[in-house]
């Protein structure tokens, strides 16, 4: 029996440590630890609720916009503000384009090299790669010359000894199964995806003024001016055409590259259709309304809970049933750590009780993470693309059923393969396709409103704090790329009294709760075979399949362990 420690887990955002127990060549237990504390929730106390979105947006530089959306929604809920239809559309376009870009970056740049051996790509026959490329996609960049050129570029990087973005891979590991030609194809598309994502995210530069971290949010709507006759307005007929072109480029990239690549790689890793399954419980708040954001029936991705892999039943979501436990987290709750708390009464009182560095192992029987452990109705949940596809599939949503059934047919696999590491990867690709196909429809809605003189995008009715009640509370829900995101706000005398964010990666990467029940990462690693304990590629495959973001999940590091106080503004 031995303990494998992966720290830091790289190609993610933030600081994640995995400790796992290896017994007889398989993982028999696992612990997931966020090793960085941040404290954005504390920084918000005493501030003006109307500016919370600017601060929360800085929780993360990867999902660059999602915390703004959850934040403005929380304040709008607390103060009873309805946002104009155009604000809904622009928010959908900002968040939807973020989702497609994020999923593409995850597949090619954060996850592909767990499956693709860059060293092997150098041995490929470019003519054969060209044949494969032309057989799986209509993409025009598929000639022998193109792949030979990519191979030459990659060889020059390898020969230079400075591997740069390809450094520190487990190249040559026996668990890499792709033939050299497919490795070359994937490496070529890694480079194409880098270029494409940079161009595509101009959608944020147009609608949000910049990327990352769009600047056009407001409590009550958006600040993106709409005017059919004004060249200087952010949204005018000319810009609509630019947005339309960008939406089409997303659709093309996902259907020409992302989907065919996933379908081409998956058959070589059939073992991973039954590994990395995890909890079997899935939560989706649902989001991306086509009409009234308050009506979940209008959502592109439906709201619901699926329990124990039972695809015949979708349970309703009651936000009152969400709690966070700190029994195994480096925090203290007033009244004791055994009782979880609802986020409206949540607390962020950091207290590190772990070993002093340097150390070999965390004390996993005690507290071992800066992440709290979120629970729904007392149970751990997986959130994210797979959860959204599972809930949508179980709810009988046509686009989702068609996409999932189409992929299962192409892979000749039953629905049970969804509950796996590869299921997570495939669900993300299908979700990117559904979202990419949707973007142009929202551009059309915006164009329609513009043509019909409907240019309202901000509701100023509650902008003056003099119109607010003495106290108010609310919450905002959103489906971010990595899953269900909620912000809870308590407002007192026009200032934030308490603010709690319960974030996708906190759901997935959280530690055990007071009952000792594992979180999603921890459960997903059980029974995974590991070929070489010194190169635990198998752990990376499953953990990366969730697309970890620890910056989001922990939401100031003093490496010397000194105490400090955060200034309070009130």
List residues binding ligand NFE (CB under 6 A): 13, 60, 62-63, 66-67, 480-482, 485, 503-505, 549, 551-553
List all residues 6 or more positions away from 503 whose beta carbon is below 8 Å from its beta carbon. 59, 480, 485, 552, 553, 555
- Of the candidates 498, 490, 500, the one whose C-alpha atom is nearest the C-alpha of residue 469 is 490
Instruction: Pick the stretch among 351-359, 442-450, 501-509, 519-527 that binds Mg ion (CB under 5 A).
Output: 501-509
Binding pattern to Mg ion, positions 208-247, x when CB under 5 A? ----------------------------------------
Q: Which is nearer to Mg ion, 208 or 510 (CB)?
A: 510
**Phi, then psi, of 386 in degrees rounded to 5:** -65, -45
Question: Distance between CA atoms of 207 and 246, rounded to whole angstroms?
Answer: 12
Binding pattern to Mg ion, positions 402-421, x when CB under 5 A? --------------------
Q: Which is nearer to Mg ion, 116 or 485 (CB)?
A: 485
Q: Which DSSP helix (H) or strand (E) runs through 480?
A: strand 471-480
**Residue showing the smallest CB distance to Mg ion in the complex:** 501
Min dist CB 483 to ligand NFE, Å, is 7
Binds 185: which of Mg ion, ligand NFE, none (CB < 5-8 Å by kind): none
Q: Which is nearer to Mg ion, 258 or 331 (CB)?
A: 331
Question: Distance between CA atoms of 499 and 346, rounded to whole angstroms?
Answer: 8
DSSP conformation letters of 359-373: -SS--TTS--BSS-E
Min dist CB 374 to Mg ion, Å, is 9
Binds 481: which of ligand NFE, Mg ion, none (CB < 5-8 Å by kind): ligand NFE
- Would you say the C-alpha torsion 498, 504, 506, 512 has a positive or negative sign? positive
Binds 552: which of Mg ion, ligand NFE, none (CB < 5-8 Å by kind): ligand NFE
Instruction: Pick the stretch among 234-242, 252-260, 499-507, 545-553 that binds Mg ion (CB under 5 A).
Output: 499-507
Min dist CB 505 to ligand NFE, Å, is 3
Q: Which is nearer to Mg ion, 270 or 342 (CB)?
A: 342
Question: Distance between CA atoms of 71 and 508, rounded to whole angstroms?
Answer: 21
Q: Which is nearer to ligand NFE, 4 or 63 (CB)?
A: 63
List all residues 6 or more positions away from 498 whose beta carbon is below 8 Å from its beta carbon. 45, 344, 345, 346, 488, 489, 490
Min dist CB 555 to Mg ion, Å, is 5
Min dist CB 506 to Mg ion, Å, is 6
Question: Distance between CA atoms of 408 and 416, rounded to whole angstroms?
Answer: 10
Instruction: Count how many residues are written for the chain.
Output: 570
**The binder of Mg ion chosen from 87, 93, 279, 501 (CB under 5 A):** 501
**Phi, then psi, of 496 in degrees rounded to 5:** -75, 120
Residues of this chain that interact with Mg ion (CB under 5 A) are 501
């Amino acid at each position: 029996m031995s303990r494998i420690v992966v720290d830091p887990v790289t190609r993610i955002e933030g600081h994640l440590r995995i400790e796992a127990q290896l017994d007889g060549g398989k993982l028999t237990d696992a612990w997931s630890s966020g090793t960085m504390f941040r404290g954005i929730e504390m920084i918000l106390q005493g501030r003006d609720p109307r500016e919370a979105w600017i601060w929360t947006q800085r929780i993360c530089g990867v999902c660059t916009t999602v915390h703004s959306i959850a934040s403005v929604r929380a304040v709008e809920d607390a103060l009873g503000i309805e946002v104009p239809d155009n604000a809904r559309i622009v928010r959908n376009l900002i968040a939807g384009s973020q989702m497609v870009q994020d999923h593409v970056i995850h597949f090619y740049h954060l996850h592909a090299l767990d499956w693709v051996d860059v060293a092997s790509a150098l041995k490929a026959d470019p003519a054969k790669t060209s044949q494969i490329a032309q057989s799986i996609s209509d993409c025009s960049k598929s000639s022998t010359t193109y792949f030979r050129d990519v191979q030459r570029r990659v060889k020059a990087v390898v020969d230079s000894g400075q591997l740069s973005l390809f450094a520190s891979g487990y190249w040559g590991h026996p668990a890499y199964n792709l033939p050299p030609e497919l490795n070359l194809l994937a490496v070529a598309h890694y480079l194409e995806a880098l270029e494409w994502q940079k161009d595509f995210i101009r959608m944020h530069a147009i609608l949000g003024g910049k990327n990352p971290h769009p600047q056009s949010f407001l409590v009550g709507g958006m600040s993106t001016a709409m005017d059919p006759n004004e060249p200087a307005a952010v949204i005018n007929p000319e810009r609509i055409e630019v947005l339309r072109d960008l939406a089409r480029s997303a659709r093309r990239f996902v259907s020409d590259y992302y989907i065919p690549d996933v379908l081409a790689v998956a058959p070589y890793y059939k073992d991973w259709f039954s590994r990395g399954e995890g909890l079997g419980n899935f939560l989706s708040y649902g989001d991306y309304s086509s009409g009234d954001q308050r009506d979940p029936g209008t959502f592109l991705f439906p709201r619901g809970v699926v329990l124990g892999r039972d695809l015949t039943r979708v349970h309703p979501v009651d936000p009152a049933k969400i709690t966070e436990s700190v029994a195994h987290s480096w925090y203290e709750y007033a009244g004791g750590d055994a009782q979880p708390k609802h986020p409206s009464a949540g607390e962020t009182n950091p207290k590190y009780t772990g070993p002093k560095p340097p150390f070999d192992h965390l004390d996993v029987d005690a507290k071992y993470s800066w992440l709290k452990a979120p629970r729904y109705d007392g149970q751990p949940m997986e959130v994210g693309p797979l959860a959204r596809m599972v809930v949508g599939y179980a709810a009988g949503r046509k686009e989702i059923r068609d996409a999932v059934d189409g992929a299962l047919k192409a892979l000749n696999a039953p629905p049970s393969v969804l509950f796996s590491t590869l299921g997570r990867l495939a669900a993300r690709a299908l979700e990117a396709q559904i979202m990419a196909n949707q973007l142009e429809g929202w551009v059309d809605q915006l164009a329609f409103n513009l043509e019909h003189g409907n240019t309202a995008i901000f509701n100023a009715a509650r902008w003056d704090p003099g119109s607010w009640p003495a106290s108010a509370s609310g919450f905002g829900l959103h489906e971010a790329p990595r899953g269900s995101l909620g912000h809870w706000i308590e407002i007192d005398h026009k200032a934030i009294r308490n603010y709690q964010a319960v974030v996708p990666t906190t759901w997935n990467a959280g530690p055990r709760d007071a009952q000792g029940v594992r979180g999603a990462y921890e459960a997903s690693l059980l029974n995974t075979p590991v070929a070489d304990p010194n190169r635990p590629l198998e752990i990376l495959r499953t953990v990366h399949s969730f697309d970890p973001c620890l910056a989001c999940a922990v939401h100031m590091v003093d490496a010397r362990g000194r105490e400090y106080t955060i200034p309070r503004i009130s």
